[in-house]
Amino acid sequence: MTMEQVAAASGLTKGFISRLERDSASPSVASLVAVCEVIGLRVGALFDPPETAVVRAGAGKRINFGASGAVERLLSPGTQQQIEVIHTVLEGAGHGGDELYTLDCDTEFVYVVGGSLEIVLEDQQVTLAAGDAMTFPGRTPHTWRNTSATEPAEVLWVMSPAP
């Protein structure tokens, strides 16, 4: 479910949903209930952080940060604030957008599981192949793209603290 769909179904704005997702909004009880109903989550689950979380293959919560040609799944629990892990499968030519963007985290780590990925920073472009990894400050303007127009790429992103 996309941010736009949650916003439309809950009667809230996309901007509010985005701030809520990043824990930078103080929602009312009514807003929390509306969002929980839309996403099928009991409100009490928001206050019961699991000590152990298992995410089975393909079962991570699907998210969309605006990438094109990408299926992104959150692998870390939403209650986890120290780290966020995202598994991304990119179609050929899939990308994170034409504009450079930043994330509200100290460190961003990317590991290429399969295929290849180009990371574009303000002052450099780095191509990573399967098995390569890169770490950079999350507040550094950047974007990324699958270097192949036809072959998929698979990537793990780790952000700390969770944006």
Closest CA to 108 of 60, 80, 141: 141
80 DSSP assignment: -
At 133 the pLDDT is 98
- Tell me: pLDDT of 50 over 70: no
- Tell me: pLDDT of 106 over 70: yes
Q: Write the DSSP string, 92-103.
A: EEEES-SS-B--
Claim to verify: residue 42 and residue 80 sit in the same structural domain: no
Claim to verify: residue 100 and residue 39 sit in the same structural domain: no
Q: Place 49 in a pLDDT band, splitting at 50, 70 and 90.
A: low
| Residue 55 placed within a domain | no
Claim to verify: residue 92 and residue 31 sit in the same structural domain: no
Q: Is the peptide bond before 137 cis (omega within 30 degrees of 0)?
A: no
Which range marks the domain in which residue 101 is found?
61-160
Can you say how many angstroms the Cα of residue 113 is from the centroid of all Cα atoms in its chain? 17
Lowest-confidence pick of 8-17, 25-34, 123-132, 141-150: 25-34
Q: Place 157 in a pLDDT band, splitting at 50, 70 and 90.
A: very high
Alpha helices (H) along 52-142: none
Element (H, E) at 134: strand 133-137
- Tell me: pLDDT of 54 over 90: no
Lowest-confidence pick of 104-108, 115-119, 150-154: 104-108
Handedness of CA 125, 93, 110, 137 (dihedral sign): positive
Claim to verify: residue 105 and residue 30 sit in the same structural domain: no
Claim to verify: residue 20 and residue 80 sit in the same structural domain: no
- What pTM was estimated for this model as a whole? 0.68
At 48 the pLDDT is 62
Task: Give the pLDDT confidence of 14-37 residue by residue, as tens digits.
Answer: 888 888 887 787 788 788 888 888
Q: Place 45 in a pLDDT band, splitting at 50, 70 and 90.
A: low
Element (H, E) at 107: strand 107-114
